[in-house]
């Protein structure tokens, strides 16, 4: 196995290496970055990587999960308040933007940001000044914004749930982080990484067939689910981890379920034509076969019971030649 470039970001797959390369090109700038990906894919780790490799690495890094805060408290948490601004404001309070001054701020789940506060956030980002709740004087702030969304914000813009001007302001550098099922080459490295972190016995290993089964599992909870599974395995490991030690949902994972999860949009989006649904399923079948054979096209063709020339044609059709 190749040594991953960092412990925080495991990037053995081509897609993750490409993403890391793109991130490395922009970390030295002050441009806003929007991370897009399913829950659990590691958006917070990517945000930490961006900050740690930027010119602001030694300065504050403030993280906030927007979905975890009640809307009525969010304005005060982000922008602060003055003493007496409301009943319970017994003293002045600096907001998270002030605490992040000169550093970076990470707004996770920005798709959950209340519409009524979006204009105030936009003003702060545009003017580099904020006004505390109950305040009368603007306060200058210099922060690098990194935000994350679990959905495509353009769809929220189209539905009138997210301001288009704020979307364009935070979407300077969009980074799409694929789900774990689409980067199976990273899974063995992630397993080894978490095993070293959680195993009481540093020599505890994992059998090859068990590792293959972990790599082929669909991981609907992405890296968060993988971490929890490996932590559980490490706690009960008796010298080594075998197939029999794996959770039932992994040992009994149905390949058809994997395709159904990967093609979730196909089965719920009534706007897709029959041809589009077939293309989506076919693309994921091809991607899964390549992942399971480590990119070996001859083996992938045998797995799919098609000629190698047919496989090549289909890879070209679906834009998967570089996968």
- 105 plus 200 within the same structural domain: no
Could you tell me which residue, 253 or 108, shows the higher pLDDT?
A: 108
CA 281, 282, 283, 288 dihedral sign is positive
Could you tell me if residue 218 is inside a domain?
no
Enumerate the β-bridge partners of residue 146: 33, 106
- Structural domains of the chain, count: 3
Tokens describing residue 89: 């404001």
- What pLDDT, in 10s, does the model give residues 162-210? 999 999 999 999 999 999 988 989 999 999 999 888 887 666 788 998 9
- 19 plus 164 within the same structural domain: yes
Which residue range(s) make up the domain with 190? Answer: 182-208+224-249
- 171 plus 79 within the same structural domain: yes
Q: Rounded distance, CA 47 to CA 107, Å?
A: 10
- CB hemisphere CA count around 120 (13 angstroms): 17
- 69 plus 105 within the same structural domain: yes
- 119 plus 203 within the same structural domain: no
Compute the average pLDDT of residues 290-317. 83
On whether the CB atoms of residues 180 and 187 are closer than 8 A, the answer is yes
* Helix, strand, coil percent content, the chain, rounded in steps of 5: 50, 10, 35
Compute the average pLDDT of residues 224-236. 91
- 204 plus 294 within the same structural domain: no
| pLDDT of 8 | 52
* CA 18 vs CA 21, 22, 39, 45: distances in Å: 5, 6, 21, 16
Interhelix angle 187-198/208-216, nearest 10 degrees: 120
Q: Rounded distance, CA 163 to CA 150, Å?
A: 17
- What pLDDT, in 10s, does the model give residues 247-258? 888 876 655 555
- 291 plus 150 within the same structural domain: no
Could you tell me if residue 113 is inside a domain?
yes
User: Burial level of 144, CB count in 10 A (0-12/13-18/19+)?
Assistant: buried
- What pLDDT, in 10s, does the model give residues 34-69? 999 999 999 999 999 999 999 999 999 999 999 888
Q: Rounded distance, CA 163 to CA 103, Å?
A: 25
- 236 plus 275 within the same structural domain: no
- 149 plus 237 within the same structural domain: no
On whether the CB atoms of residues 13 and 2 are closer than 8 A, the answer is no
User: Burial level of 107, CB count in 10 A (0-12/13-18/19+)?
Assistant: buried
The pTM of this model reads 0.74
Enumerate the β-bridge partners of residue 196: none
- 136 plus 204 within the same structural domain: no
- 86 plus 229 within the same structural domain: no
- 26 plus 83 within the same structural domain: yes
């Amino acid at each position: 196995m190749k040594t991953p470039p960092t412990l925080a970001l495991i990037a053995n797959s081509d897609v993750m290496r490409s993403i890391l390369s793109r991130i490395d090109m922009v970390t030295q700038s002050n441009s806003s970055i929007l991370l897009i990906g399913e829950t659990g894919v590691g958006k917070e780790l990517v945000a930490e990587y961006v900050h740690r490799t930027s010119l602001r690495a030694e300065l504050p890094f403030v993280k906030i999960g927007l979905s975890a805060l009640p809307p009525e408290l969010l304005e005060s948490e982000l922008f602060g308040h003055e003493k007496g601004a409301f009943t319970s404001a017994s003293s002045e309070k600096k907001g998270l933007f002030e605490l992040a001054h000169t550093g970076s701020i990470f707004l996770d789940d920005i798709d959950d940001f209340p519409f009524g506060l979006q204009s105030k956030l936009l003003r702060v980002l545009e003017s580099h000044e904020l006004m505390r709740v109950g305040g009368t004087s603007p306060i200058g702030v210099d922060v690098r914004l990194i935000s994350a969304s679990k959905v495509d914000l353009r769809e929220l813009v189209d539905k009138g749930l997210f301001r288009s001007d704020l979307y364009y302001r935070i979407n300077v550098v969009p980074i799409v982080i694929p789900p774990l099922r689409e980067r199976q080459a990273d899974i063995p490295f992630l397993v080894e990484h978490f095993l070293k972190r959680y195993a009481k016995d540093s020599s505890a290993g994992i059998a090859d067939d068990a590792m293959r089964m972990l790599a082929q599992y669909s991981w609907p909870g992405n890296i968060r689910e993988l971490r929890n599974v490996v932590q559980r395995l490490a706690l009960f490991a008796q010298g080594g981890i075998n197939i029999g030690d794996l959770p039932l949902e992994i040992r009994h994972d149905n390949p058809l379920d994997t395709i159904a999860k990967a093609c979730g949009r196909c089965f719920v989006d009534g706007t897709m034509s029959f041809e589009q649904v077939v293309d989506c399923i076919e693309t994921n079948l091809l991607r899964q076969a390549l992942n399971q054979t480590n990119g070996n096209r001859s083996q992938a063709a045998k797995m799919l019971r098609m000629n190698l020339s047919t496989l090549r044609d289909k890879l070209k059709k679906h834009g998967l030649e570089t996968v």
